[in-house]
Amino acid sequence: MNLIQRYLFRQILFPVVAACAALAGIGILSQSLDQLQVIVERGQSVWVMVKLTLLALPQLLAVILPIGLFVGALIALTRLQREQELTASFAGGMTRWQVISPAARIAVLVALATLFVNVFLLPWAQQEARRQAFDIRTDLAALLVEEGQFVQGPDGLTVYVQQIEQNGLLKNLFVYLDDKDKVTTWNAAEARFSRDAAGTPVLTMIDGSAQRYSSGGVLETLSFGRYDFSLAPFVGVTDTLRFKPTDLYLRQLLNPTAKIVEVAGARGELLAEAHSRLSSPLYALVAMALALSAILGGAFSRTGYTLRIAKAAGLFLLLRVVGYGLVAGSAWNAGLNVLQYVVPIVAVAVSLRVLFRALKPRRSRGARVLRDLKARFA
């Protein structure tokens, strides 16, 4: 790139980065508000909320990168055109492609970034988020204990903890279990939740005693230094970790095993998701092509380009809706997968056609007459 092209590259890149960052910030804020219920209802830590919010970022980036590119490019190109910097570039002898190539380079970079997110970051983050949500859903420690409160659990289990330390240690624990045949209570000075070798949750009580009535109605008391109370009977046996098509890696979508098909979805649905991951980066090219055609695809205007920008924004929104519709339709008809690529490619081609026709140099009638005279007397 020459000096002018590098200048145009910087002038377009900074608004694009700012627009993507602003949209990402709004998305993170929205996600963090949604995750507040994890703390309120499930008794999880702030770190769990932050982790879930950050794990949602790749999914947000896959959506907002083309939108941020479109918004940022419109802002930058409008300013450059209003201040006639693009006109000066043409007047300086630069060709149409030389002027728009910095914008095209940025679009390609955003498309590659979107592809990287779709292929690598998105499935990793989705699987981690799914595991974290599963752990929260099956976390009896958060469901059974609340400092200073009697908490009723499943199947006649009641737990009281006087104090919960930051390291998870429970102080002055009381457990009451009514299994219909008999009632048993446990008292312990300290306790802690853990898992055994099989992954079953266990409540380990230290320095306590257990009391229950015998069949003859006699109260039996047993003191212990350590007692492991298995929580397996209170864990739902139907709770299993299941992944959705959006959680799988590209290789798993294109070549799924029988187990993946059984758990995640039909082969058509998996294949549609795979092609969606590969084709959606093309909408970054669509966004830039529409932005260029909206600003440079018509006559110069000092009053602004509101109408042309509105038309370009509406068309971009329509194309995205059509794209999402094709993903849904491809799950039932594999032949529609090719349209996931055709639609954005055609949109780019048409937009560039409009752009280059508008930027095509127009020769005046006098210039044509002068050229003809020169040719005649040459």
The distance in angstroms from the start CA to the end CA of the chain is 39
| Residue 51 belongs to some domain of the structure | yes
- Judge whether 270 and 248 are in contact, CB under 8 Å: yes
Q: Average pLDDT, whole number, for the chain?
A: 86
In which domain, by residue range, is 197 found?
144-234
Indicate whether 364 and 254 sit together in one domain: yes
| Residue 336 belongs to some domain of the structure | yes
Taking only the tens place, the pLDDT of each residue in 209-256 is 999 876 667 788 999 999 999 887 776 544 567 889 999 999 999 999
Predicted pLDDT at 237: 46
Pairwise CA distance, residues 144 & 153, whole Å: 6
Indicate whether 37 and 159 sit together in one domain: no
Kindly write down the DSSP assignment for every residue of 159-214, as one continuous string. Answer: EEEEEE-TTS-EEEEEEEEE-SS-EEEEEEEEEEEEE-TT--EEEEEEEEEEEEE-
Total domain count, the chain? 2
Give the chain's count of helices (H) and strands (E): 15, 6
Q: Is 359 helix (H, G, I), strand (E, B) or coil?
A: helix
Indicate whether 50 and 119 sit together in one domain: yes
Indicate whether 166 and 99 sit together in one domain: no
Question: Domain ends where: 202, 234, 266?
Answer: 234
Residue 161 backbone class (left: φ over 0; alpha: ψ -120 to 50; beta: rest): beta
Burial class (CB in 10 A: 0-12, 13-18, 19+), 298: middle
Q: What residues pair up with 213 in beta bridges, in sequence order?
A: 219
Instruction: Give the confidence band of 193 by pLDDT, cuts at 50, 70, 90.
Output: confident
Indicate whether 203 and 265 sit together in one domain: no
Q: Which two tokens stand for residue 339?
A: 């349209």
Taking only the tens place, the pLDDT of each residue in 123-164 is 999 999 998 887 777 666 667 788 888 988 877 889 999 988
Taking only the tens place, the pLDDT of each residue in 63-93 is 999 999 999 999 999 999 888 898 888 888 8
| Residue 374 belongs to some domain of the structure | no
Pairwise CA distance, residues 29 & 21, whole Å: 12
Indicate whether 154 and 251 sit together in one domain: no
pTM for this prediction: 0.77
Q: What residues pair up with 193 in beta bridges, in sequence order?
A: 203
Tell me the one-letter amino acid at 350. Answer: V
Question: At what angle are helices 122-137 and 57-82 packed, to 10 degrees?
Answer: 140
Indicate whether 172 and 200 sit together in one domain: yes
Taking only the tens place, the pLDDT of each residue in 280-308 is 999 999 999 999 999 988 766 666 678 89
Predicted pLDDT at 133: 81
